Structure 1
Amino acid sequence: MAQTENILTIQNLYVSYGTTNILKDINLTVKAGQTLAVIGESGAGKSSLALAIAGLCAGGATGTVCFKNQNLLTASQEEMRCIRGNDISLVFQNTDNALHPLYTAVEQVTEAIMLHQAIDKSTAGQLALDTLAATGITGELAGLRPHELSGGQQQRVLIAMALVNNPELLLLDEPTAALDPLTKQEITVLLQQSAAGRACILITHDIATAAELADTVAVLYGGRIIELGPARTVLKDPRHPYTRGLLRAYPNMTTVKDLQGIPGSMQHDLPGCPFQPRCTQSLPDTCQASMPALTLTAGRNLACHRGGIVPVLQITNLTKAWDERLVVQNLTFTLYEGETLTIIGESGSGKTTLAKTIMGLTPLSSGEIRLNGNKITERKLDFYQQVQLVFQNPKEALSHRLTVCQLIKEPLDIQNIGTETDRVTTVQQLLTEVELPATDIFLHKYPHQLSGGEAQRVVIARALALNPKILIADEPTSALDASIQAKIIKLLLNLQENRGLAMLFITHDMALARKISDRLAVIQHGKIVEEGPAQLLTVNPSHPYTRKLLAAAARFP
């Protein structure tokens, strides 16, 4: 069979349960020999998609699900019984419901054969034993009932049942969800072998399984496909904010940054983009107004009005000289919405000069700074509404003459935002957000009455007062003890998660950088010598200076 032949073509598929639309305008094709993984949170509609294809969906389904030129949505029940288990096989998520409690493993598979093949029971039984053996169920295991088998063994029986009639399309609905890591690894290898040469759809929230098995990944959210493309492209370089959120929330051995969730919860039948209530870069007038079309962007199909994760700060050939000495030389990098890019290097490498130059605290010698695509030539009030700096030493960053309330409120006073009552209310909300007391006693404290950790939280609250989208954090924990440092870092990650902050984090500490960063830019003598994903640069750096920083990082013996 030709590799380019479409085995399954889905067009404009809608599935509804009562008045709720679970799947909306699904368009997919699956070719012979291709494995398509459909990933997303629980409730996205993944299992409904598998059930609709198999003709088992309890809800109403409209559109076209074309299997080898036959629309399965208009097929009769008798036609579907002939197709299901023969041409299309489904491996269910819940083995308890999929296996008959009174049948042995070999009887389960034999029954699947007898339903579709005109052969005697003895021949069918032998074929069942051979198929079970191919999945690792041999000897006395074949004669055991489901309750006598482990979860992994039950899953192998289901796979044998699905394969025994040599289907052209294999539907796998969360086939590894309830398995321990070693059993999951074994089942994944078995599924790789089983899917070879067939069209296969893998329904899963397990991103590692999708990465292992799939050629193509479709990201489903709120019943719609929002990102679709080659598995390696989508999972290595997600462009939709939701896909990035899924990957950030998934624990795996190649991730170095601490896990981050996605604020809020999924809702169905919302106007506009289904992700917009949880999206930190949404534009109300645009994203709430209409559903973005799935269009080809950066090597994959993407449904996003903003074209995917947007760049918020672009630095091009930035150079800063003090007299004749070049401190920063031709720095070029991009900071994206909601990410943490860490600038790392030893003292004197130009890190703080970079931060001050971006903030306009010292003029650049040459180069270009763009904020949200607009070139910055001078710093006006609206610039500081979008970009704020957290200084290294909190006690030096806070005026000793002002109270906590006055310090945090000052940016609102300068920008003349709200009434005095509104500003004090905002101060109290910010203190709560940075996990400080919003009491009158604390509001009237002065910096010298604060601990180091409290002072740094006040600095962060002050930086957040204008609700910026970019936070430049210049060694924000270097003066703190390890316990307070950990709390401040966790606070910054939580703020990033909830507010969608893009952070330019500056540090000399590689061990810290790997816990907070999405990407690293290594700076030496004012030049970026290496840049890339944090997991790559902290595991397999290419530049000698990066390796030197890694070798000097804190380790316990």
Structure 2
Amino acid sequence: MEQGKNILDIQSLHVSYDGTGILTDINLTLKANQTLAIIGESGAGKSSLALAIAGLCAGSATGKVLFRGNNLLTTSEAELRYIRGNDISLVFQNTDNALHPLYTITEQIAEAVKLHKHLDESSAYQLALQALADTGLTGSLATSYPHELSGGQQQRALIAMALVNSPEVLLLDEPTASLDPLTKQDITALLKQSAAGRAVIIITHDIATAAELADTVAVLYGGRIIETGPVGTVLEDPRHPYTRGLLRAYPNMTTVKDLQGIPGTMQHNLPGCPFQPRCTQRQSTCQDSVPELALIGGRKLACHRGGIVPVLHVTGLTKTWGQHQAIQNLTLTLYEGETLSIVGESGSGKTTLAKTIMGLTPPTTGDIHLNGIKITERNQDFYKQIQLVFQNPKEALSHRLTVCQLIKEPLDIQKIGSGTDRQTAVKKLLNEVELPADDAFLHKYPHQLSGGEAQRIVLARALALSPKILIADEPTSALDASIQAKVIKLLLNLQEKRGLAMLFITHDIALARKISDRLAVMKNGKIVEEGLTHLLIAAPTHQYTQKLLAVAARINWR
């Protein structure tokens, strides 16, 4: 097969069932010796795409699926029957429905050989046995009925059936779904071997399988392709908020941060960007028009905002106290909805950084940008966008104010809403931070609160103005482990719901690895190492980072 030649060319494919759009404007190419993974949640339209390519779609399909220059959507059923199983093979998701219960697997594969190669019974049977042997099914297994085989063995039989006629294109619909890890490993190795020399499309929600088998990945959401590119580029550095959400929700052995979901549920046939009801960085444009799939940063991306946006950008920041430089020419960027942890020992400049960004102490030099706009003064609009959660909640709360007054105060200062509106907002915020909103609790004073309750009140107060950025300065250092875990879980839930970007300051690198998307290691006022949390934890390059990891909390027993 000629390297680089287009085998499949999908142009403006639309699929609908009973008038309901399932796939919209799908444009993909598949080259020889290329493996393309299509990933996304259930209901995204992945299986419908595979069925449309194979000419098995039960709905209405328009556009073009070009194979050898012929549009499979307008090809006659007789021609499609020849192409399916001979030139294009599909491995179905559900093995129970794909294999006939009354025939042995060898008989079923031999039938596919006879249909396409017009061989006699004996020759077809021998080819079927060889195909099964190539997938590891020999002896009595080859002459078994489907119900006599395990799930993994049935999957091998389907792969043998798909490969027996040496197709150019292999379509794999959830080929490792419901398999145990060891069987999945074996099937993945078999698929990798089977993909050699072919054009392959893998339909899967299993990101690890996509990463293992594919060289290119396309992310499908609400029937549209929203991000596509080299598998390493997309999965290592996702730029669409949905792709990032998928990776945050996927458990694997490289995960260090706690799992997070994606708020809301998928909907189809919406105006504008299909992801906008669930997107925490949406703008009015996102609701009005569909973003084009454009080349951005080494991949194609469909996002009006060009992907996940930076909300805080600090450049060349310096803070000098007399002869002491607490911060030295520091630069960092915080993106929408992410957590960037600043870790380092006491005296490294972490709290000074937080106070300088917030304007509690003026910088000596440097610039701070919020949402791309340079900050020249800390006015009321600034504090609507960014809030600070202090280290010691009892010191951050006025002892003269009740819980209600403490949470309502930012709304009073900004003159937001009526008195009744503010009272309602206070109760909603208390519910959001999982505290009671009854009159008895509303009238408590800080000295009547536990440490965990006080910290939640500080959070509720910080969230009152609906900021997009939280700077959390050692927010759990004074709490016991159980309360700390609850506060951290609360922060992650709030981040998920609101799209909060968090600059999380801590000396505890073990804690930082559980909450962070990225880590920045700070020493003597400088960031000495920065990167994705799982990569930095696994392979730190700076000696100071290695030292912090060496002394991080561990529970060891023999």
Identify the TM-score tier after normalising by the shorter chain: over 0.9
d(CA) in 2 for partners of 1:301, 1:362: 42
Q: Which residue pairs with 2:73 in the alignment?
A: 73
Distance in 2, Cα, partners of 1:183 & 1:485: 39
Residue 182 of structure 1 is matched in structure 2 by 182
Q: Which amino acid aligns with 2:164?
A: V
Partners of 1:508 and 1:538 lie apart in 2 by 15
SS of corresponding position for 1:56: coil
Greater shift, 112-121 or 214-223, is seen at 112-121
Aligned to 2:409: 410
**What SS class does the counterpart of residue 398 from structure 2 fall into?**
coil
Task: Say yes or no: does 1:236 pair with 2:236.
Answer: yes
Match of 1:152 in 2: 152
> 2: distance between equivalents of 1:103 and 1:366?
79
> 1:324: which partner in 2?
323
Distance in 1 (alpha carbons) for counterparts of 2:122 and 2:297: 55
Q: 1:212-242: per-residue Cα shift (whole Å, max 9, x none)?
A: 0111100000000000101110000000000
Structure 2: distance between partners of 1:105 and 1:98: 11
Q: Which residue matches 2:366?
A: 367
* 1:192 corresponding residue in structure 2: 192
What one-letter code is carried by the residue in structure 1 that aligns with 2:22? Answer: I
Q: Which runs of 5+ in 1 are unaligned?
A: none
Structure-1 residue corresponding to 2:547: 548
TM-superposed CA distance for 1:108, in Å, is 1.6
2:347 and 2:4 map into 1 onto residues whose CA distance is: 57
How many residues get paired?
556
> CA separation in 2, counterparts of 1:303 and 1:95?
35
Distance in structure 2 (CA, Å) of the matches to 1:377 and 1:51: 57
CA distance, structure 1, for counterparts of residue 555 and residue 342 of structure 2: 24
- Alpha-carbon deviation of 1:317? 1.1
Deviation of residue 120 (structure 1)?
1.2
Instruction: Give CA-to-partner distance per residue, 1:418-447, whole Å, 9 cap, x none.
Output: 001100100000000000000000000000
Partner of 2:291 in structure 1?
A: 292
Q: Distance in 2 between matches of 1:548 and 1:107?
A: 63
Mapped to 1, the partners of 2:311 and 2:449 lie a distance apart of 34
Is it true that 1:497 corresponds to 2:496 in the alignment?
Answer: yes
Q: For each residue in 1:266-293, what CA deviation from the matched residue of structure 2 results, as whole angstroms up to 9, or x when unmatched?
A: 000000000000000000x200010000
**For 2:382 and 2:5, how far apart are their aligned partners in 1?**
54
Once the 2 structures are TM-superposed, how far is the Cα of residue 377 of structure 1 from its aligned partner? Answer: 1.5
Query: What is the alpha-carbon distance in structure 2 between the residues aligned to residue 207 and residue 536 of structure 1?
Result: 18
Question: Which residue of structure 2 aligns with residue 401 of structure 1?
Answer: 400
Where 1:497 maps in the other structure, the secondary structure is helix
Residue aligning to 2:307: 308
What are the equivalent positions in structure 2 for 1:154-553 lying under 5 Å apart?
154-283=154-283, 285-553=284-552
1:9 aligned counterpart, secondary structure: strand
Separation in structure 1 between the aligned mates of residue 450 and residue 325 of structure 2, nearest angstrom: 37
- Report deviation, 1:111: 1.0
SS at match of 2:413: helix
- Mapped to 1, the partners of 2:298 and 2:536 lie a distance apart of 24
* SS at structure 2 position matched to 1:314: strand
Rounded Cα–Cα distance in structure 2 between residues aligned with 1:133 and 1:447:
73
Q: 1: distance between equivalents of 2:60 and 2:178?
A: 29
- Read off the aligned partner of 2:333 and give its amino acid letter: T
Rounded Cα–Cα distance in structure 1 between residues aligned with 2:317 and 2:408: 33
1:229 and 1:191 map into 2 onto residues whose CA distance is: 21
Q: Which amino acid aligns with 1:120?
A: D
How many Å apart are 1:448 and its aligned residue?
0.1
- Measured in 2, the distance between the counterparts of 1:382 and 1:71 equals 56
Show the counterpart of 1:107: 107
Residues 375-427 of structure 1 deviation map (CA, whole Å, 9 limit, x = unaligned): 11210000000000000000000000000000000000000000011001000
What is the CA–CA distance in structure 1 between the aligned matches of 2:361 and 2:49, rounded to whole Å?
Answer: 57
Partner Cα separation in structure 1 for residue 531 and residue 310 of structure 2 = 16
Deviations 1:272-319 (A, max 9, x none): 000000000000x20001000000000000000000000000011111
Following superposition, the deviation at residue 81 of structure 1 comes to 0.4
* Structure 1 CA distance for aligned equivalents of residues 108 and 235 of structure 2: 37
Q: Which amino acid aligns with 1:393?
A: N
**2-structure distance, mates of 1:231, 1:540:** 21
In the TM superposition, what is the alpha-carbon distance from 1:471 to its structure 2 partner? 0.3
Residue in 2 that maps onto 1:39: 39
Where 2:288 maps in the other structure, the secondary structure is coil
CA RMSD of aligned residues (A): 0.5
Q: Report the CA distance between 1:536 and its aligned residue.
A: 1.0
Report the TM-score, using the length of structure 2 for normalisation. 0.99
Output one character per residue of 1:147-176: Cα deviation in whole Å (capped at 9) or x when no partner.
100000000000000000000000000000
Per the alignment, residue 5 of structure 1 pairs with 5
1:94 aligned residue? 94
Deviations 1:88-136 (A, max 9, x none): 0000000000001011121121111111012111111111111111101
Structure 1 moving runs of 4+ over 6 Å = none
Q: Which amino acid aligns with 2:507?
A: H
| 1:61 corresponds to 2:56 | no
SS of 1:326 mapped into structure 2: strand
Of residues 451-460 and 114-123 in structure 1, the stretch that sits farther from structure 2 once superposed is 114-123
What are the superposed Cα offsets for residues 470-495 of structure 1, whole Å, 9 maximum, x if unpaired? 00000000000000000000000000
Q: Per the alignment, in what secondary structure is the counterpart of residue 58 of structure 1?
A: coil
Q: Match of 2:514, SS?
A: helix
Letter of the aligned partner of 1:221 in structure 2?
Y
Alignment partners' CA distance in 2, 1:108 and 1:463: 65
User: What's the CA shift for 1:69?
Assistant: 0.7
For residue 538 of structure 1, give the secondary structure of its aligned residue in structure 2.
Answer: helix
In 1, Cα distance between equivalents of 2:539 and 2:179: 31
Q: TM-score, normalised by structure 1?
A: 0.99
SS of structure 1 residue aligned to 2:73: helix
The aligned amino acid for 1:54 is: A
Q: Give the fraction of aligned pairs with identical amino acids, expressed as a percent.
A: 78
Once the two structures are superposed, residues 10-66 of structure 1 have per-residue CA deviations (whole angstroms, 9 ceiling, x without a partner) of 000000001210000000000010001000000000000000011110000000000
| CA distance in structure 2 between the partners assigned to 1:131 and 1:223 by the alignment | 35
User: Hey, what's the Cα distance between the residues in 1 that align with 2:368 and 2:129?
Assistant: 68
Gapped regions of structure 2 (runs ≥ 5): none
What CA distance in whole angstroms lies between the structure 1 residues aligned with 2:493 and 2:282? Answer: 19
SS at match of 2:266: coil
In 1, Cα distance between equivalents of 2:538 and 2:218: 29
CA distance in structure 2 between the partners assigned to 1:233 and 1:539 by the alignment? 19
